Amino acid sequence: MNTGWVLGSAVASFIISAFFGRWLVPKLRSRGFVQTIQGEGSTWHHNKQGIPTMGGLIFILASVVTSIVCVFLFSYFESYDKDTLKVVAGLAMALAFGGIGFADDYIKVKKKREHGLKVKHKLILQFFVASAYLLVLYLLGVTSNIVVPYFGIYDLGVFYWILSAIGIVAVVNAVGISDGTDGLVGTMSFFCCLTFMLLAAIMKTQCTGIAASALAGGCLGFLLWNLHPAKVVMGDVGSLFLGGYLCSLAFSIDLPLLLLVAAAPFILEMLSVVIQVTYFKLTNGKRLFKMSPIHHHFEKCGWSEVRIVVVFSVATAVCGIFAVLITLFGLSQIA
């Protein structure tokens, strides 16, 4: 892999993100795009009332612009292949998910409430976006084969596309659920991007590596504004975009199953909500966790936001290492 393109896209995205934030954060505040905190469960977060939201636009602009410019320049000067089109399709999907998040945030801001789009409406839109993306992959010649490291390659037929759509929507919402602590989703996404940069190098998919590094740089620049104490929060526009982007990286290298490993902490956050709700219903009101998603449980246990971010980021980095090792040694077993 040409590391110059990868590093260049990361640095460019970081610079754009860092400087764009200087303009956007005060602009969001002056326009009244601030978050509203309500509800008993989040009373200790009331100090975040009035912080500008929709800050995810910072890394969206940085990563998308950098990815498009660098990917097309690389394709023009170096080589053009199907990987380029996959990356472009992935960016379109991420932007579409970000658009859904933008609508959700906009309703929250205008209505001054914590909830925006109705859940069923959001899910319908998300499944439409995921299905459209998978249709594009099919038209690009992607097969229904799924690679299972150490075991082999299996053709799932139509079930591959059904499970893929469900998986994409699940991961996108898992990332969205994880947002709620200063710097948490940004740092976890950064380490996920580093993982996919390495996986792209292993799979020799240069354009995917460029896209992953662009998002990594964008997240790093955003963290200048989002680390505790946050000056801006990403909102659903940012978290849903990140979820879609991470999914696209996994599909671009034809290893979507490894998303379960690389993004395991995000998935744990979503599962904690499912487990909490199920346990609550089965036990007539008892709670397994003090609060879900699980990072709020640790907050209730007295952990600081900084400690939560560090622990979850380390966990994401470790999961990334496992994903890389599985790819390195698992694929050689089925080659």
Domain span including residue 70: 3-334
pLDDT band at 331 (very low <50, low <70, confident <90, very high): confident
Percent share of the chain, pLDDT over 90: 84
Ranges 72-81, 164-173, 204-213: which has the least confidence: 72-81
CA distance 226 to 184: 9
Tell me, yes or no, if the pTM score tops 0.75: yes
Question: Tens of pLDDT along 231-286?
Answer: 999 999 999 999 999 999 999 999 999 999 999 999 999 999 999 999 999 999 99
pLDDT band at 209 (very low <50, low <70, confident <90, very high): very high
The total number of structural domains that make up the chain: 1
pLDDT band at 2 (very low <50, low <70, confident <90, very high): confident
Question: Tens of pLDDT along 121-137?
Answer: 999 999 999 999 999 99
Concatenate the DSSP letters of all residues of 208-230 into one string.
HHHHHHHHHHHHHHHHHHHSSSP
Closest to 182 in 3D by CA, of 55, 94, 64: 55
CA distance 319 to 314: 9
Show the beta-strand stretches assigned E in the chain: 145-148, 152-155
Question: Tens of pLDDT along 30-60?
Answer: 998 988 765 544 555 656 777 999 999 999 9
